[in-house]
Amino acid sequence: MPGATVEETGREVTNMCGIVGYTGPREAGPVLMDGLRRLEYRGYDSAGIALVTENGDLFVEKRAGKVAVLQDALGADTPRAGVGLGHTRWATHGRPSDLNAHPHSDCTGRISVVHNGIVENFRELRDELAAKGHVLASETDTEVVAHLVEDAYRGDLADAVRAALRRLEGAYALVVMHRDEPDRLVGARLNAPLLVGLGDGESFLASDASALVAYTKRVIFLADGDVADLRPGTATITDIAGKPVDRPIDVIPWSAEAAEKGGYAHFMLKEIHEQPAALRSAMAGRVRGDNVCIEEIDALRDRFINVSRVELIACGTAYYASLVGAQLFQDWLGVPARANVASEFRYSPPPLDARTLVVAVTQSGETADTIAAARLARERGSMVIAVTNTVGSAITREAHASVFLQAGPEVAVAATKTFVTQVVTLVMLAADIAQQLGRRTKAEEDELVRALRALPEAAERAIELAAVTEEMASRYAEAAGFMYIGRAFGYPAALEGALKIKEISYLHAEGYAAGELKHGPISLLDADVPLVAVATRSPVYDKLISNLMEGKARDARVLAVATEGDKQIEQLATDVCWVPDTLDPLSTILAVIPLQLFAYYVAVARGRDVDQPRNLAKSVTVE
């Protein structure tokens, strides 16, 4: 089946790889290495550069590991060259390795390509190219582009790139060069970021302004479908058919440091805003036509029929995402399913056998407790699926299959975009297995696919609507603590909202199942301890409203997260953050967005170190 186009799944995917290209009078090697170092702040697993040297050779060096490993391999001097391209890779297809690192070349070794994005039809293209006699060296989707350009090349690189692009489905930011056209770079963008930098007699391409602001602030932000043909100091932009298009030159006001954060004050804020794109990436190639299909679990499909129980294991934010997963596995597969805190799992493990499906959820893939729990489950014969953001991480070696979040690197310690992508990935995983087992109707599946397709735009809308949280936070920042409540799919959102407040503002917050409020924590509520209620439209809405009233009766200010159009809540709550309507199992994703932003602005108002809160680590590798 052909891959879904990105138009079908949404628009921009996350910026998962760093790209830089240069043509001009400087030594290209050091310019590229400097650009790669500036892109590396996001954390990468391999890096590489290619140069057309003054002798007319194509020089390529690429290494798994950090940019420093590449620098060591290059030594002090790179070959003299005025044109080149570089890449830091954050793996989505194929393990981090020297071979899979970019740049990738064609059969003749004349063409070099770097790519950010996902070529969704790469398997078809790879088979077609192999049948024509092309030899593909790596496991990456990118390499097919080099061979497609090779096939189309008739002496004009831009023409060949445009011909290759017409074959691609998915998302790309690409930079291509050819040994025989030694001052030329061709870049192209569709649903992945790429900008042109114009200096004095020199030109740049980069995925991220941080790679070029040290050299020039004059940039052209390419639009989807643009192809940029660069020579030193000039850029000609066309569409994919070759028709010239006009793009304005902008001047970036950012410093190099601000550019890393895309102009946002903190990585956390940037990553909150990246969530619509991260959701699109997570769904790319998985929400296809009218069904959901996760290819990574194909090898296990025969075994799903025997699954009698599902155990999810995770820590922190990933545990809260797992609470959503557990509800869905139970509802949709019709077998008992439970989310477990990984650090407790080993001390009181459930019966684990070949009929138990264990899903280990971990952003980093390196959390010691989650790895130990997964190992125990595997030793006892259970099938283990990892859901992680990190290709090649430790959890992928414990698991029988790994499903990647494709969320792009997350820098802020407080997880945001990886939470929403964990939830959506668990939704897709549960839906795929349930569908295969025939446990859900076609109508249910269709309804879910429609809601998934609408989700990235709904997340964009939720971010817009949450603009009010900045002003609200200034009124709540002096609270003595917070009580967060929710029911069903609102409960994990309440827990995650409370965790965000704790992590970055250092205020005490409790996340509670709303029905438990009156069994203890209600005694904490007063004028200084507000109640934050996740009260989105759902079958438990009326019950949640009763709990909200209990808080109001104790003089607590009530901040509600509610579905747009809910008239009743406006009368009841002190403040309301609106979110768009969605299918109940996806509501956690939208409800958490204003809670993330509320926590962010409370922390900023309290002068906290938002991106690196005290005492916390991004990944906890000790038990």
Annotated catalytic residues are 17, 618
Q: Which stretch binds ligand G6P (CB under 6 A): 111-119, 266-274, 315-323, 437-445?
A: 315-323
Closer by beta carbon to ligand G6P, 436 or else 619: 619
Q: Which stretch binds ligand G6P (CB under 6 A): 125-133, 312-320, 452-460, 561-569?
A: 312-320
Residue in 364, 406, 547, 563 binding ligand G6P, rule: CB under 6 A: 364
Residue nearest to ligand G6P (CB): 316
Does position 620 interact with ligand G6P (CB under 6 A)? The reply is yes
3-state SS track over 223-276? CCCCEEEEECCEEEEECCCCCECCCCCEECCCCHHHHHCCCCCCHHHHHHHCHH
Q: Which of helix, strand or coil describes residue 103? A: coil
DSSP state of 281: H
Residue in 138, 363, 416, 425 binding ligand G6P, rule: CB under 6 A: 363
The backbone torsions φ and ψ at residue 38, rounded to the nearest 5 degrees and listed phi first, read: -70, -25
Contacts with 174 (C-beta within 8 Å, 6 or more apart), sequence order: 113, 114, 115, 117, 145, 161, 165, 187, 188, 189, 194
Closer by beta carbon to ligand G6P, 236 or else 621: 621
Place of tokens 């609507």: 465
Closer by beta carbon to ligand G6P, 330 or else 612: 612
Does position 619 interact with ligand G6P (CB under 6 A)? The reply is yes
Closer by beta carbon to ligand G6P, 240 or else 268: 268
Closer by beta carbon to ligand G6P, 241 or else 622: 622
Of residues 372, 322, 382, 373, the one with CA closest to residue 351: 382
Of residues 461, 451, 519, 455, the one with CA closest to residue 485: 519
Q: Which positions from 479 through 508 interact with ligand G6P, judged by CB under 6 A?
A: none
Task: Determine the Cα–Cα distance for residues 311 and 326; give it in Å rounded to an integer.
Answer: 8
Closer by beta carbon to ligand G6P, 393 or else 538: 393
Q: Which of helix, strand or coil describes residue 385? A: strand
Q: Which positions from 318 through 337 interact with ligand G6P, judged by CB under 6 A?
A: 318
Does position 362 interact with ligand G6P (CB under 6 A)? The reply is yes
Torsion sign, CA atoms 237, 243, 244, 248: negative
Helix axes 587-605 and 442-465, enclosed angle (nearest 10): 20
| Least distance in angstroms from the C-beta of 323 to ligand G6P | 13
User: Interface mask (CB under 6 A) for ligand G6P, residues 400-439, using x and -?
Assistant: -------------x-x------------------------
Closer by beta carbon to ligand G6P, 282 or else 558: 282
Does position 370 interact with ligand G6P (CB under 6 A)? The reply is yes
Residue in 317, 327, 416, 469 binding ligand G6P, rule: CB under 6 A: 317
Residues paired with residue 212 on neighbouring β-strands, in sequence order = none
Query: Would you state the structure tokens that stand for residue 492, as one six-digit string?
Result: 């994990």
Of residues 354, 344, 401, the one with CA closest to residue 380: 354
Does position 137 interact with ligand G6P (CB under 6 A)? The reply is no
| Least distance in angstroms from the C-beta of 353 to ligand G6P | 25
Does position 367 interact with ligand G6P (CB under 6 A)? The reply is yes
Residues contributing to the site for ligand G6P (CB under 6 A): 315-318, 362-364, 367, 370, 413, 415, 616-620
